Chain A
Amino acid sequence: MIQVKNLKKKYGDKQAVDGISFDVKKGEIFGILGPNGAGKTTTLEMMETLRSIDSGSVFIDGINVAENPDKIKYLIGVQPQTPAFQDKTRLTEVIEMFAAAYGERVDAMAFLRDVDLEDKAKSYVEELSGGQKQRLSITTALVHGPKVFFLDEPTTGLDPQARRNLWELIEKVRAKGISVIMTTHYMDEAEVLCDRIAVMDNGKIVALDTPKNLIKQLLKRGFHKDQHVEQANLEDVFIDLTGKGLRE
């Protein structure tokens, strides 16, 4: 579905993205990990047509991103880091507006139902909680039936319930055959969610494999950690005490 070859981007003196290559398959959840400034967001932005590409290429569904940005926009859905909407807009109107941006007319309620927001259909966006805004943002990114879905740190700042709920949603998106590319700072999230992971540092990919294989390789290299086999962790305690139900 996606082929990235030797992608490069320079900001002034800094080589933000330094010749990275990877492929993403149809219906795969692909994670890009790395410390701040590693070049994750820049990579995403080049794939999303938001930044010009210095050299190298990105093909999505066989179309060159640099040459056909207008065609690419119909193929991709983008979830920004902090979703924001204009005040005094009803949820149904947000959906209608984004669909209209693609020239499409859609059943707004169906898209709200997908993310459990049909009760809020007539509310204004400013009445939503952080998690609800994330869910609205996800469904607006899917109104035109994209083949690739980009998420930039989707769960930053959410409570554990909202985070788990978002994971389910991302799984549901993948179940439709959409390829998902996401960045995150949470290793547990990457481990649970991602089929494959690219770890970036200083604009380069330093490792690319499934989470399991990455861990195996580390152990093979002789890594050793004191073994504490615990049957639960603190998050399990938290979820046990407060339940899995979403809070708004």
Chain B
Amino acid sequence: MSLRKSLYTIVTLAKINTRRVFRDRVALFFTIGFPLIFLFVFGSLNSGSGNVSFNVAIINQSNTPFAKQFIKEADSSKILKVNKDVTTLSNAEDKMSRSELDATITLPSSFGEMQSGQTYPSGQATVVYTENNAQSAQALSSILDAQFKAINAKYVSNITPFTVASKQLNERSLSSFDYTFAGLLGFAIIGMGIFGPINVFPELKKMGILRRLSTTPLKVWQYFLATMLSQIVIGLISLTIMFIVARLVFHLDVVGNYFELALFIILGIISILGIGLALGGWAKNERQVAPLSNIIVFPMMFLSGTFFPRYLMPDWLQHISAFLPLTPVIDGVRLIATEGKNFTDILPQIGLIGAWIVVIYFIAFRVFRWE
């Protein structure tokens, strides 16, 4: 078959296959809807992160104006999220034991009263916490301590020879949503590239559709290329929608070059699809593919940082997971999209993906069966 005819074969198969996916509501849900749901869930979990805040209850037993002022300020504070339903210590203790509250601030009845012979109010607030919340309680204590120091300075002049000033740099830092989003794109690519073929291929074999195709001159590489082409089209559409939602709803800041990003995503889709083609192409039926895909796909999904960033893992695990096929895809997307890196900056990622493509497709061609 001439190259031109070969190309016509591939494009025609890819075109019809792509149309079929857009007619199939279930397929559309799994390729586009499902990742979007994850985006909304994980996006909402992450929104507002970066600002530390504490869930606290304030048990106030004092009637002094100072105590009232303290509560008012606590309410309007960004750092404290005051749970107003909690009014007794026992209720607070219960909620703290379930980690619904980080700590409880108690103000004794004498809080803010003028002690005899003094010209300023005084008192001691207590931060009550349970063992599982020790860290946040300590952080909260030092924050309160600093605030009281500022108040103290108003009443009692004192000299502070040493001070600490903090200065914010204008450089952009990554929010955890940037990591989450790149991971979710990886999840979407896995969904299409692996779960697609491992569900569809055994079905096509069972129905004898692939067998019928094998009586035509159609070659395995042509069939793979056609599948790849339609996956790239569908994948780019699905991921574009995710980018639009992430920008509009979750204020993702894309600083990279969109053209490079698209090229890189195509590279990622090709490498991950290879895993699906190898598994689905090898399996004679669903029963064969299910355990294998569980062994390969799920560990890869978690270790490559789809649902939580890889930097949370212990070092030794990070060193191993860095070499998984999906890791350079997720890292590369994040580096280009949110860190504005160019292809020349991410050569290690591109090289690793390239190496995996060679290995994966070598296996996929070897193990493919038409029936």
A interface residue numbers (CB < 8 A to B) = 48-50, 70, 73-74, 76, 78, 80-89, 93, 96-98, 100-105, 124, 144
Contact = CB atoms under 8 A, between A and B. Distances in A.
Contacts of B2: 103
B6 interface: yes
Most buried by A among B211, B213, B217: B217
A96 B16 contact: yes
A147 B9 CA distance: 22
Nearest to B209: A84
Interface string B1-38: 11001101100110010011001100000000000000
Contacts of B6: 103
A53 to B, nearest CB: 16
Nearest to B204: A86
Contacts of A73: 215-217
A171 B218 CA distance: 28
A100 B209 contact: no
A101 B9 contact: yes
B216 to A, nearest CB: 4
B98 interface: no
Contact of A85 (B5, B209, B217): B209
Given A87-B20, A88-B20, A93-B19, A100 B208 contact: no
A88 B207 CA distance: 15
A86 B23 CA distance: 12
Interface residues of B, number: 25
Contact of A74 (B9, B208, B217): B217
Given A84-B208, A86-B20, A87-B20, A103 B215 contact: no
Nearest to B1: A103
B91 interface: no
B13 A97 contact: yes
Looking at chain A's contact residues, is the secondary structure mostly helix, strand, loop, or mixed? Answer: loop
A49 B215 contact: yes
A102 B215 contact: no
Contact of A103 (B5, B16, B19, B24): B5
A49 B213 CA distance: 12
B366 interface: no
Given A86-B204, A88-B20, A96-B12, A101 B217 contact: yes
A100 B19 CA distance: 16
A100 B14 CA distance: 11
B216 A101 contact: yes
Given A49-B215, A70-B217, A78-B212, A103 B207 contact: no
B214 interface: yes
27 contacts: A49-B215, A50-B214, A50-B215, A70-B217, A73-B216, A73-B217, A76-B215, A82-B208, A83-B212, A84-B209, A85-B209, A86-B20, A87-B20, A87-B24, A88-B24, A96-B16, A100-B9, A100-B12, A101-B13, A101-B218, A102-B217, A103-B1, A103-B2, A103-B8, A104-B5, A105-B8, A144-B216
A101 B213 contact: yes
Nearest to B23: A88
A84 B16 CA distance: 16
Contacts of A80: 208, 211-212
Contacts of B214: 50
Contact of A102 (B16, B209, B216): B216
Contacts of A50: 211, 214-215
B52 to A, nearest CB: 51
Given A89-B16, A93-B19, A84 B216 contact: no
Given A50-B215, A103-B6, 18 more contacts: A50-B214, A74-B217, A83-B212, A86-B20, A87-B20, A87-B24, A88-B20, A88-B24, A89-B16, A96-B16, A98-B216, A100-B8, A101-B213, A101-B216, A102-B9, A102-B217, A103-B1, A103-B2
